[in-house]
Amino acid sequence: MAPLSFPVPPLPKSGQLRAFWRAPASSTALAWHIACAAAAHRGPLLVVARDNQSAHQIEADLHTLLAGDGSLPVVPFPDWETLPYDQFSPHPDIISQRLSALHRLPTLQQGIVVVPVQTLMQRVAPLRYIVGGSFDLRVGQRLDLEAEKRRLESAGYRNVPQVMDPGDFAVRGGLLDVYPMGADTPLRIELLDEDIDSIRAFDPESQRSLDHVQEVKMLPGREVPMDDVSVERVLATLRERFDVDTRRSALYQDLKARLAPSGIEYYLPLFFQEARSAGTPARDATATLFDYLGATVLPLLAPGVGAAADAFWAQTQNRYEQRRHDVERPLLAPEELYQAPDTLREKLNGLPRIEVWAADHARIDEAQALGDQPLPPLPVAAKDAAPAEALKSFLGSYAGRVLIAADSPGRREALLEVLAAAGLKPEVIPNFATFLAAPPGTRWREAPDAGTPRAPSSAQKAAASSASANAAQAQVAGGRSLPPPPLPQGEGLASDVAPARFAIAVAPLDDGFALDDPHIAVLTERQLFPERAGQPRRTRRAGREPEAIIRDLGELTEGAPIVHEDHGVGRYRGLIVLDAGGMPGEFLEIEYAKGDRLYVPVAQLHLISRYSGASAETAPLHSLGGEQWSKAKRRAAEKVRDVAAELLEIQARRRARAGLALQVDRAMYEPFAAGFPFEETTDQLAAIEATLRDLASSQPMDRVVCGDVGFGKTEVAVRAAFAAASAGKQVAVLVPTTLLAEQHYRNFRDRFADWPLRVEVLSRFKSAKEIKAELEKVADGGIDVIIGTHRLLQPDVKFKDLGLVVVDEEQRFGVRQKEALKALRANVHLLTLTATPIPRTLNMAMAGLRDLSIIATPPPNRLAVQTFVTAWDNALLREAFQRELARGGQLYFLHNDVESIGRMQRELSELVPEARIGIAHGQMPERELERVMLDFQKQRFNVLLSTTIIESGIDIPNANTIVINRADRFGLAQLHQLRGRVGRSHHRAYAYLLVPDRRSITGDAQKRLDAIASMDELGAGFTLATHDLEIRGAGELLGEDQSGQMAEVGFSLYTELLERAVRSIRQGKLPDLDAGEEARGAEVELHVPALIPDDYLPDVHTRLTLYKRISSARDSEQLRELQVEMIDRFGLLPEAVKHLYAIAELKLQANTLGIRKLELGENGGRIVFESKPNIDPMTIIQMIQKQPRLYAMDGPDKLKLRLPLPEAADRFNAARGLLAALSPR
């Protein structure tokens, strides 16, 4: 039911220009009234918000409130999300959304446009550019690929190796991949001769094809035109109006080379000047958003808009005054880029409009109330004696209907648990539209005797359609399906519940509200958990468990060493189909010593692990059936006992030093944390909270925070340092290089600027006198946070009261420095930050001896670095340079040889004449090196040719391509660090690893390159550390004395044994060498074909990967998702694959019951139980007593089934029935 069905709030009447609304207490109530007003107004409603956050919030609430109502589209026109005169460009997604809005607005008859006021002030491209720069592509149309490539480049699209972002395109053979501006997905255009044969959407991550489309609208690729005429016009203006030094100005040189400089958007008016007669200035031909909206637009001004416009204008003028004197990059005056607030007010004054006034407005009495009521706090606390007394009282006294709005299905389930504990059971319904559509006093679903049933709502149709589609895709053997996701209660068969007045739905809304008409109240977590009301809603992202990453089998290649837990280390020889019990099945073939072969059913891949601990060439090869493996495993287990005892003793000595608890002052900490200008990721928040808990513990913290560069490790350290310093303790931050010390100093100083805490840096950039004075202040407590390199470890550095040591990039410090660090940290909290943890650190953390936090969630809009391993190729390098320079970016070129770096500069200058190249290396004087790095940061040149000195350098968000020459000479951790120099903004980054002929590089170097290239996902540092173990061996884990045992059994199994031993000793028990034997999973054998046929999926590696994923699935939902993916990628599932999934589902059920083996054939079968199954013995006794001809015990741990089961469907049904009968009631 659309908001049109409900009372309309006051609109400007005929002859009146303004209507005044009293702002509701709830922001979501305002969004409701906006929707009702838009439904009544015949034209677009322009909602002007005071800032970005408010605009996003209104837009999100409108999408929830109007879900399923296509008659009222919500069109956001987002801000660039850059500060005025910034020297970097907006994210491609933002440009895409803006261009889409500009294209749509002129034809928008009715709907809601949401815009922040500073964005409404912007001057934008004229309509003629958007319309004239757009064109259509459709199936059957003739297309010259070369001409199309030139047209796309002229329109501002970027030619890239793989299409990932809006504005990208790639040509491969007869295929054109393009991501049109304004589109939700990229498109793959396939040609037959010179005609477009098909157009398909595809997933940019997996590159899988999606739906077919018949035509596509191609919008311009930028908000400014880069055609020759427009660029020449801008160049002439720069020369004549600004008198720039054309040789020194990077802006001028880039435009001359037809490259779009980063931040070019702040020169937009220069691209749209219209020439006049000689001697008169050119006319500005830019537009404003009003030019796109037409005469029927009705502006609605949210509270605070006027003050926000004035504040933004003041900020813009201030930034202009600060930066206007840069002769190399002249600026346009604010009046050229924006409408001044007075100009905007004048425009609005000429239009009918709605003004929403806050309660403190001077004329609030003139404004009309909107028929909504504030909601009281209704706290729910599951642990209280009366956990929801206020909510119960509200439900008893409120005459209308009540909805609890949950942010997500997960939050809905959590809320249902809390409410159930309080004795409350709301109806579960799909969404807000379902709630709104239910007439007062009716059930959510019609009972059979309720007369003529209502037509199903659009939400019901969608839910039913989705459910049937899921069921169809999840079909398995025997005409039975894995259970589809359950429909929420209230969608399905009627029941005899009382008319529902209290419901819960997934409806992410910012705040709760109550309306007079309709008589409803919507409660969010702000009302139910008032203590969280001040916290902003955050976008939660899934974290990654360290154990899940390290245990991953990965992709096996033929000949690779692998470990079978029962039989030892062999060599993987591929997949083979064999007859087992008369039925074909696929097996993993492992070769052992003397040519013996072991065939492992694919359902038992959980017994297989990737061998790591030594190189493949030196990995052992055990004899099948011999004692070599059992002896090696026993030796490793015995060694593990000693190691575990030693580690625990070290840990116990450290933890015996009590009295280190730091009381975090939350009253100071919370405002400090709120000063962080970005949205924390889930992983980052978890790491911060874990660190604060450690600081408050009386035992010394020893935590490793592992996260890729730019993922927010520094903020974890900043929060920890603030907590320690505000508790009266000193903090030492230890970093490997002077440049990194300076960067950390700037970051810490900026974050601590508003607090009475002193931050200093010990740096070679300072004089000896300055350093001496600072050391004296450290000794007497005058400095709270001191940042430095290994200079901090020297004997003359004395602390008054050191409480926390932060170590950044631990792997960069030498042995002696680490020994000095051990002495320094003996009685203090230790926080280690690392992008790629060294194997010793990794294993100690895995064994639970050092606490580990992984930040694997990228910040919003961060993209993975595309990595290429290639030989030197002039054409490829020139293309890489030009691609980056064309989008206004910068490059690193790493050449780690100081003697030949000058020659390399000359070669690159000849190859790419438009590049401006600077040089940095470790033999330069410190001051000169700092100047070069700062010049690169300020974009005075666009290519930095350097040695590895940049490995821990300053952040350059605009540098998004790195070329590493002779990458085969670098270690894995070093390659990961170097690659991390790029990709630190929201632009796609590229890394080119240049190597000589692959036949001339070592095997280990080849493996390092393969590992870094395969791990191009964000947050891969932790995974790379596990590859490092395989390549380097694990000798440095705790010393060479245990590397022998580790090499014999492999790192994964060794780690598992160590974990078992640590766990046992902590519990006061001797480690049981056979512990965990029963935890390997059930074996299910139904004597039916259960495999992935090679005629369905020919690629062996893909089949193996899918087998591993199926056997490792943790629940039915994962299996269902895998089925949907396989159907999407490879087509409908053959019967044998359906059997495979059905058996995997039975295994999951058998595992929970403690069943070791379930075997069924033509004449019945048996169940073998573990020693302590999760089954009530009385259940088995009753089954035998009721049906003695069917069931019988065969020994103490076997239940026999005597029943003819000739068909596969009979066996699956019998297996399900058996497991259901044995399950606890």
pLDDT in tens, 225-242: 988 899 999 999 999 888
Please state whether the peptide bond connecting residue 186 to the residue before it is cis, i.e. omega within 30 degrees of 0: no
Number of domains composing the chain: 5
In the structure, what pLDDT confidence band is assigned to residue 493 with cuts at 50, 70 and 90?
A: very low
**Residue corresponding to tokens 């706290």:** 379
Q: Are 1152 and 1204 in a shared domain?
A: yes
pLDDT at res. 764: 73
What is d(CA 991, CA 980) in angstroms, rounded to the nearest whole number? 9
Q: Are 815 and 926 in a shared domain?
A: no
Q: Are 813 and 918 in a shared domain?
A: no
- Helix (H) or strand (E) holding 807, with range, is strand 802-808
Q: Find the helix packing angle between 666-674 and 713-726, rounded to 10°.
A: 150
What's the token pair of residue 591? Answer: 């070769």
Does some domain include residue 760?
A: yes
pLDDT at res. 1045: 55
Rounded to the nearest 10°, the torsion over CA 388, 393, 396, 399 is: -110
937 touches 956 (CB < 8 A): yes
What is d(CA 790, CA 161) in angstroms, rounded to the nearest whole number? 42
Beta-bridge partners for 218: 135
The yes-or-no verdict on residue 450 having pLDDT over 60 is: no
Q: Are 878 and 811 in a shared domain?
A: no
In the structure, what pLDDT confidence band is assigned to residue 634 with cuts at 50, 70 and 90?
A: confident
Percentage of residues in the chain having pLDDT higher than 90: 33
Residue 1115, domain CATH: 3.90.1150.50
| Three-point CA angle 121, 126, 132, nearest 5° | 150
Q: When comparing pLDDT for 549 and 67, which is higher?
A: 67
pLDDT at res. 496: 32
List the single range of 492-501, 612-621, 981-990 with lowest mean pLDDT.
Answer: 492-501
In the structure, what pLDDT confidence band is assigned to residue 626 with cuts at 50, 70 and 90?
A: confident
pLDDT digits (tens, 9 = 90+) for 946-955: 998 887 666 7
pLDDT at res. 481: 27
Q: Are 968 and 1099 in a shared domain?
A: no
430 touches 488 (CB < 8 A): yes
Strands 730-734 and 802-808: parallel
In the structure, what pLDDT confidence band is assigned to residue 423 with cuts at 50, 70 and 90?
A: confident
Does some domain include residue 1211?
A: yes
Q: Are 1103 and 1174 in a shared domain?
A: yes
Q: Are 1010 and 883 in a shared domain?
A: yes
List the single range of 543-557, 647-661, 1176-1190 with lowest mean pLDDT.
Answer: 543-557
pLDDT digits (tens, 9 = 90+) for 244-276: 888 888 889 889 988 888 889 999 999 998 755
The yes-or-no verdict on residue 470 having pLDDT over 50 is: no
Does some domain include residue 30?
A: yes
* Mean pLDDT, range 1138-1163, rounded to an integer: 92
Q: Are 140 and 82 in a shared domain?
A: no
| Three-point CA angle 661, 667, 670, nearest 5° | 95
Q: How far apart are the first and last CA of the chain?
A: 43
pLDDT digits (tens, 9 = 90+) for 116-128: 999 999 999 999 9
- Final residue of a structural domain among 184, 218, 252: 218
Residue 178, domain CATH: 3.30.2060.10
In the structure, what pLDDT confidence band is assigned to residue 968 with cuts at 50, 70 and 90?
A: confident
Q: Are 114 and 151 in a shared domain?
A: no
DSSP sequence for 445-505:
S--TTSSSPPPPPHHHHHHHHHHHHHHHHTB-GGG-BPPPPPPPTTSSS---PPPP-EEEE
Residue 889, domain CATH: 3.40.50.300
In the structure, what pLDDT confidence band is assigned to residue 488 with cuts at 50, 70 and 90?
A: very low
pLDDT at res. 952: 61
Q: Find the helix packing angle between 1208-1222 and 1177-1186, rounded to 10°.
A: 130
- Helix, strand, coil: what percent of the chain each, to 5? 40, 20, 40
What is d(CA 259, CA 639) in angstroms, rounded to the nearest whole number? 62
**Residue corresponding to tokens 């899934």:** 542
- Final residue of a structural domain among 793, 826, 855: 855
The closest of 326, 138, 1075 to 644, measured between CA atoms, is 1075
What is d(CA 720, CA 715) in angstroms, rounded to the nearest whole number? 8
| Three-point CA angle 500, 503, 507, nearest 5° | 145
Q: When comparing pLDDT for 517 and 287, which is higher?
A: 287
What's the token pair of residue 743? Answer: 């960067």
- Helix (H) or strand (E) holding 523, with range, is strand 520-523
Q: Are 1191 and 1163 in a shared domain?
A: yes
pLDDT at res. 82: 77
Q: Are 887 and 1009 in a shared domain?
A: yes
Residue 53, domain CATH: 3.40.50.11180
Backbone φ and ψ of 434, nearest 5°: -65, -45
pLDDT at res. 999: 65
The yes-or-no verdict on residue 1037 having pLDDT over 50 is: no
Does some domain include residue 506?
A: no
pLDDT at res. 1103: 80
Domain ranges, residue 807: 699-855
Does some domain include residue 584?
A: no
Is pTM beyond 0.85? Reply is no
* Mean pLDDT, range 1049-1054, rounded to an integer: 67
Does some domain include residue 92?
A: yes
pLDDT at res. 204: 81
Half-sphere CA count of 380, side-chain side, radius 13 A: 22
The yes-or-no verdict on residue 1142 having pLDDT over 90 is: yes
List the single range of 40-49, 1032-1041, 1114-1123 with lowest mean pLDDT.
Answer: 1032-1041
Q: What mean pLDDT value characterizes the chain?
A: 80
pLDDT at res. 478: 31
The yes-or-no verdict on residue 459 having pLDDT over 70 is: no
* Mean pLDDT, range 358-376, rounded to an integer: 87
Strands 730-734 and 759-762: unpaired
What is d(CA 346, CA 1194) in angstroms, rounded to the nearest whole number? 92
Q: Which residues contact 299 (CB under 8 A, 6 or more apart)?
A: 46, 48, 348, 351, 353, 354
Does some domain include residue 524?
A: no
555 touches 1101 (CB < 8 A): yes
- Final residue of a structural domain among 327, 342, 366: 366
Beta-bridge partners for 579: 584
pLDDT at res. 1172: 84
pLDDT at res. 823: 63
238 touches 330 (CB < 8 A): yes
Does some domain include residue 1137?
A: yes
The yes-or-no verdict on residue 553 having pLDDT over 80 is: no
In the structure, what pLDDT confidence band is assigned to residue 749 with cuts at 50, 70 and 90?
A: confident
pLDDT at res. 323: 81
The yes-or-no verdict on residue 389 having pLDDT over 90 is: no
What's the token pair of residue 582? Answer: 């008369």
Q: Are 74 and 212 in a shared domain?
A: no
Strands 959-965 and 890-894: parallel
Q: Is the dihedral of CA 601, 603, 607, 609 positive or negative?
A: positive
In the structure, what pLDDT confidence band is assigned to residue 1160 with cuts at 50, 70 and 90?
A: very high
Number of Cβ within a 10 Å radius of residue 189: 24
In the structure, what pLDDT confidence band is assigned to residue 586 with cuts at 50, 70 and 90?
A: confident
